[in-house]
Amino acid sequence: MRIMGIDPGTGTTGYGLVEKQGNRLIHLDNGAIFTRSDEELPRRLQTIHASLAQVIADYAPQAVAVEQIFVARNALSALKLGHARGVALLAAVQAGLPVFEYTALQVKSAVVGYGRAEKGQVQQMVRLLLALPEIAQEDAADALAVAICHAHSHNLTDRLRQAAVAGGRRS
């Protein structure tokens, strides 16, 4: 199971790819797409969309995970974030990939085991879980975090399904 996490933003969009093999979680790649602040918004969105489409084509993930947003500092920052998030979701669905959304609480709980963990703790745990010496870019680390969250949730869903099937067999 190959999972791509995306942390979209008009300035910087982080992405991370992990492969789940049984109970092992293997790091494949992570990186960030930067757009120039002196470029017009439509052009920046095109860069984000085209770059994500390229990463998807290169790694052929089977699922995309993104953080679900409930709050934003203000309406204007929410609007900007929405633009980037919109083209990121589009790149995923155009590649025929299912998109899974997780709240910040779910991501923190899955990665650190504590829903109110600090951002720094999450990033350190991402490094440890994937045995990476360092993660160059903060948004890439956040993207890996949501990918790990999906790997764990998916794992849980699998186990619940297996339990249900086993229960079905028993009855």
* Catalytic member of 38, 118, 139, 158: 139
The answer to whether the CB of 68 falls within 8 A of the CB of 29 is: no
For the CA atoms of 41, 47, 50, 52, what is the dihedral angle to 10 degrees? -100
Cβ-Cβ contacts under 8 Å for 74 (sequence gap 6 or more):
none
Q: Which is nearer to a second copy, 66 or 130 (CB)?
A: 66
**For residues 71-90, which are near a second copy according to CB under 8 A?**
71-87, 89-90
Q: How far is the CB of 79 from a second copy (least distance, A)?
A: 4
Note if 29 is an active site residue: no
Return the number of the residue (3 or 111) whose C-beta is nearest a second copy. Answer: 3
Task: Pick the closest to residue 13 from 60, 70, 53 (CA basis).
Answer: 53
Q: Is there a catalytic annotation at residue 142?
A: no
Binding residues for a second copy, rule: CB under 8 A, are: 40-43, 45-46, 49, 69-87, 89-90, 92-94, 99
Residues designated as active site: 7, 67, 139
